[in-house]
Amino acid sequence: MRAFLGVKTQQLLSRVCSPSAAVRWRAAQTRLYCSSSPDEEKSRPSMLRHLTSKIIATGPIPVAEYMREVLTNPVMGYYVRNNMLGPDGDFITSPEISQIFGELLGVWIVSEWMGAGGPKQLQLVELGPGKGSLASDILRVFSQLQSVLGEVSVSLHLVEVSPALSRLQAQNLTRDHSQEADAEDEPVYRRGETAAGLPVSWYRRLDDVPAGFSIFLAHEFFDALPIHKFQRTEKGWREVMVDIDPEKPDQLRFVVTPSPTLASSTLVQADERRDHVEVCAEGGVIVQQLARRITEDGGAALIADYGHDGTKTDTFRGFKGHQLHDVLASPGTADLTADMDFSYLRRMAGGGVACLGPVSQRTFLKNMGIDTRMQVLLRNCNDLSTRKQLISSYDMLTNPSKMGERFHFFSLLHHSRLAKPKKAEGLKLEKKRRPAPLPVAGFTELSFS
Ligand code: SAH
């Protein structure tokens, strides 16, 4: 059956890889956060001022609260700022490096939809869609695989906290054919339609996405969610907080609470062996929601991010202009991020779903047939600079010292997706078995023979 899946996925891939399919390569550009003009800078309330008044009023704040404010404060948050997009970026993501990334994920989605028996409705739900590039590449694959998808009714659901990015996603996905909701508290705050007529809806929270068979995607989403930090001390686990530096009142510093907090008493595992741990409780809640939805309505989630399997300690860091940036310096002007702990996500997902991975991005993309795709593209490309760009994008995505080993893929699946075929009960002569499930692409080496 492994070979069977290989053939099936290979067939999907070969249609997407068809040399006649338009090949468009993005320049290695970044997700772009340009600085504002000095006038705007002066008029904008300062994030640092906001945080220091908060700390003066309530005392030191947990790292999770600091991260939430800095990234998603509705007025000043890094992701929420109106003028965050422009030519100078802070970091780059795989979907922005090359469209091949989104194409392979599109094939994964179609393969999972087929593995679930091809339900009549397919909701593609993306958490934190950035510029909308990944969704756009996936929808192109859907249109190339129209004959496979048949009459299925596809809809796109985007969970995005940033109004500015939602506008950009609307431009990219609906060619500006979208409308904002009249009232601010509407669960669907924007609606639109793609050029192919697929409905697109925007939500602030996953909770608001309607129930139904869904494939969920989260690419570099979980690493942006707030983490709590805990330090082992002689007196037990203590939470790391952010405080004002008493020596320099316009600077922040980390402190450790003298006594346990609710978070330090509940979020650290009893058998924890590390001396310092980071726990993304918000990510845990989202994974629980994904698991419940998949159990109840079917579907799968594909999570791709940098992370570890419960081994790393201090990974909290900032990025500004592609450089590491002190997480406490000039809050609101740089991206803040922390590695995902896949072992925590697996624990939070519980037994209601099957978990696969993490596998490295290199392994996942190779299993999905990125090498075959490259060969086809190179065979059909004579332009030297395009060839160079193809090769360097491939290298960036798969090279172990670049994104290949740093990023990992992890999946939640409905248990039925992996269920072993049961022997038919009753008559001994009865040899008929339920067909074995298709192996899950990306997590299994495909046979292209
Ligand atoms: N997936 C994209 C963008 C990753 S950046 C890519 O890989 O290119 C993180 C994205 O998540 C941004 O779109 C940001 O606005 C969004 N985001 C961050 N925190 C969020 C939250 N709490 N809820 C919803 N979206 C969030």
- Ligand 1: nearest atom to the Cα of 68: 22
Cβ contacts of 445 within 8 Å, gap of 6 or more: 367
Residues 222, 292: Cα–Cα separation, whole Å: 18
Helix (H, G, I), strand (E, B) or coil at 153: strand
Note the pLDDT tens digit of each residue in 248-284. Answer: 989 999 999 999 999 999 999 999 999 999 999 999 9
Residue partners of 441: CB distance under 8 A and separation at least 6: 5, 9, 107, 108, 111, 112, 367, 368
CA of residue 316 to ligand 1 center, whole Å: 17
Residue type, 63: V
In percent, how much of the chain has pLDDT > 70? 86
pLDDT in tens, 190-216: 999 999 999 999 999 999 999 999 999
- The DSSP line for 381-418 is ---HHHHHHHHHHHHHHH-IIIIITTEEEEEEEEGGGT
Q: Which of 221, 223, 406 to mutate to test the pocket of ligand 1 (most atoms within 8 A of CB)?
A: 221
pLDDT, average across residues 157-179:
92
Q: What is the pLDDT averaged over residues 12-18?
A: 67
Nearest CA residue ID for atom 6, ligand 1: 130
- Report the distance separating Cα 448 and Cα 433, nearest Å: 26
pLDDT in tens, 79-127: 987 545 444 677 888 998 999 999 999 999 999 999 999 999 999 999 9
User: What Rg value do the Cα atoms of the chain yield, rounded?
Assistant: 23
Tracing tokens 């469209």 back to the chain, one arrives at 99
For 139, what's the count of Cα atoms within 13 Å in the CB-facing half-sphere? 25
| Dist. CA 124 → ligand 1 center (Å) | 16
> CB of 219 closer than 6 A to ligand 1?
yes
What was the pLDDT predicted at 31? 29
The closest residue, in CA terms, to atom 3 on ligand 1 is 130
* pLDDT (tens digit per residue) in 335-376: 999 999 999 999 999 999 999 999 999 999 999 999 999 999
Amino acid identity for residue 371 in this structure: D
Cα separation, 160 vs 144, whole angstroms: 27
- From 160, 168, 216, mutation site for ligand 1 pocket: most ligand atoms within 8 A of C-beta: 160
**Ligand 1 within 6 A of 68 CB?**
no
Stretch 31-52: mean pLDDT, rounded?
58
Q: Is the pLDDT at 24 greater than 80, yes or no?
A: no
Is the preceding peptide bond at 358 cis, omega within 30 degrees of 0?
yes
Q: Report the nearest atom of ligand 1 relative to the CA of 128.
A: 11
Average pLDDT, the chain: 88
Please tell me the predicted confidence (pLDDT) of residue 433: 62
Q: What is the pTM of this model?
A: 0.90
334: which DSSP letter? S
Strand spans (E) along 316-403: 317-320, 323-325, 335-337, 340-341, 353-360
Distance 225 CA to ligand 1 centre (A): 9
Highest mean pLDDT among 176-180, 182-186, 244-248: 244-248
14 DSSP assignment: H
Per-residue pLDDT averaged across 1-26, rounded?
52
